[in-house]
Homo-oligomer: A and B are copies of this chain.
Amino acid sequence: MKFIQSVKNPQVKQWKKLLTKKEREKTGQYMLEGFHLVETALHYKDEIVELIISEEAELPPHWNVDDIEMTMVTPEIARALSDTEAGQGVFAICRKQEFSEVLEGRTYLLIDAVQDPGNIGTMIRTADAAGLDGVILGSGCADLYNSKVLRSAQGSHFHLPIVQRPLLEVIHQLKEQGIPVFGTSLQEASDYREAEVMDAFALLVGNEGSGVDEDLLSVTDSNVFIPIYGRSESLNVAVAAGVLLYHFKQSLKNV
């Protein structure tokens, strides 16, 4: 195994650059951190470029790391690569997945301009839990390969296709395929329990402060809201997505 001891080693500098979106786009690679995420990645070996392990970290004996390139580094380098304060000294460099432009499934989550990476990651995790066929990130969303998005998604980005595409186009395409698109809005919308979900749906959620863009809301099949029984003004977007995705999923006919 290679052992790198200097923070100034060019390889270390290259890895660190993957914390920026620009470098991730240039190289088509990204970095995962922590035991849980790296263990999930090991089920998708083809996507792993290499593992980076601090000499202080102990790999779980059940990990199968055959045929995977590994580099040992000093704890100092591990700290330099980590974007958390309590890093675990275990990293994987992975290849970004390319998904086809074809939306072949029947259930999708569309996310418009959600800025908080934790919200994006949590929604990807929820979409996975609800058994959706994919997630589409529109413009203004935090980058999928941002380390906070990946951390909140808890490995779900390996489980389902996630694409970054203009939502107007996606909505038109879904409608052409007969998939009803439900926007979320507090104005001119109906109670979500009245939505007619037959054998497919796409749910569209939006920005934490301003909601879904008006231009998108105007082309959906219908728009829904979640009733507020108390005095809070609204729900957190990831919580709202959870309530709606589970309701829609469980309302599907013949699936």
25 of the cross-chain contacts (CB-CB < 8 Å) are A122-B238, A125-B235, A126-B232, A126-B236, A126-B239, A129-B228, A129-B229, A129-B232, A129-B235, A132-B230, A154-B233, A155-B232, A159-B230, A159-B231, A159-B232, A193-B250, A236-B238, A236-B242, A238-B239, A239-B241, A239-B242, A240-B242, A242-B242, A242-B243, A243-B243
A88 part of interface (Cβ distance < 8 Å) = no
Bound state CA distance, A243 and B243, in angstroms?
5
Which residues of chain A from 191 to 206 have a CB within 8 Å of any chain B CB? 193
Bound state CA distance, A236 and B154, in angstroms?
10
Copies in the complex: 2
A130 part of interface (Cβ distance < 8 Å) = yes
Bound state CA distance, A249 and B241, in angstroms?
17
Whether A129 lies near B242 (C-beta < 8 A) is: no
Contacts of A240 in B (CB 8 A): 242
Whether B246 lies near A129 (C-beta < 8 A) is: no
A131 part of interface (Cβ distance < 8 Å) = yes
Contacts of A243 in B (CB 8 A): 242-243, 246
Bound state CA distance, A240 and B245, in angstroms?
12
A156 part of interface (Cβ distance < 8 Å) = yes
Whether B130 lies near A229 (C-beta < 8 A) is: yes
Question: Could you mark each residue 125-137 of chain A with 1 if its beta carbon is under 8 Å from any beta carbon of chain B, else 0?
Answer: 1111111100000
Bound state CA distance, A235 and B241, in angstroms?
12
A70 part of interface (Cβ distance < 8 Å) = no
Which residues of chain A from 121 to 173 have a CB within 8 Å of any chain B CB? 122, 125-132, 152, 154-156, 159-160
Bound state CA distance, A235 and B129, in angstroms?
7
Q: Pick the contact of A235 from B126, B159, B193 — CB < 8 Å? A: B126
Contacts of A155 in B (CB 8 A): 232
A189 part of interface (Cβ distance < 8 Å) = no
Bound state CA distance, A128 and B236, in angstroms?
12
Contacts of A231 in B (CB 8 A): 128, 156, 159-160
Whether B230 lies near A130 (C-beta < 8 A) is: yes
Contacts of A226 in B (CB 8 A): 129, 246
Whether A232 lies near B154 (C-beta < 8 A) is: yes
A178 nearest CB across to chain B (Å): 22
A118 part of interface (Cβ distance < 8 Å) = yes
